[in-house]
């Protein structure tokens, strides 16, 4: 955990707090007897990882009690996101098509369908996480809100 602490300190303070909370949440998972995530890479499909693109409690648990996922290279890749664009990484994410030139019409149509599918999948994932946040409350939920 001391290696993780050293690496966490290399992030901006708000990110340090997020990562610290996730690292501490490992204890809660252990106390509740939750099963290990059995991850094989430093990527997860949980809401925290998808939203922030940072190591989550599942990655910290696997790193601590299973495979060592958070290597020096992995930490550097997470830290590079902020060196290149700071907090702007959270303001705008999009698919950039650089391979579209030189494709025939059928391949271009297929690529446009793939891009559209990715957009719909991201909206569906966001709606799913909003439903989880609202929980069992009786609040009306607009699934297509930004």
User: Which pLDDT tens digit goes with each residue over 24-53?
Assistant: 998 888 888 888 888 889 999 888 898 888
- Alpha-carbon gap, residue 47 to 134, rounded angstroms: 14
SS3 of 31, please? helix
pLDDT for 105 equals 82
**What pTM does this model have?**
0.59
What mean pLDDT value characterizes the chain?
A: 79
Question: What's the CA gap between 130 and 127, in Å, rounded?
Answer: 5
> Is pLDDT at 56 greater than 90 in this prediction?
yes
């Amino acid at each position: 955990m001391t290696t993780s602490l050293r690496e966490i300190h290399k992030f901006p303070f708000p990110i340090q707090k997020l990562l610290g909370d996730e690292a501490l949440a490992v204890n809660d998972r252990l106390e509740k007897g939750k099963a290990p995530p059995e991850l094989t890479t430093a990527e997860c499909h949980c809401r925290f990882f998808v939203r922030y693109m940072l190591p989550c409690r599942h990655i910290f648990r696997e790193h601590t009690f299973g495979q060592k996922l958070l290597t020096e290279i992995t930490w550097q890749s997470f830290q590079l996101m902020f060196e290149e664009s700071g907090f702007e990484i959270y303001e705008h994410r999009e698919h950039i098509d650089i391979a579209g030139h030189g494709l025939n019409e059928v391949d271009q149509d297929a690529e446009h369908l793939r891009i559209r599918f990715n957009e719909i999948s991201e909206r569906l994932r966001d709606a799913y996480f909003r439903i989880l946040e609202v929980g069992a409350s009786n609040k009306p939920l607009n699934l297509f809100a930004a």
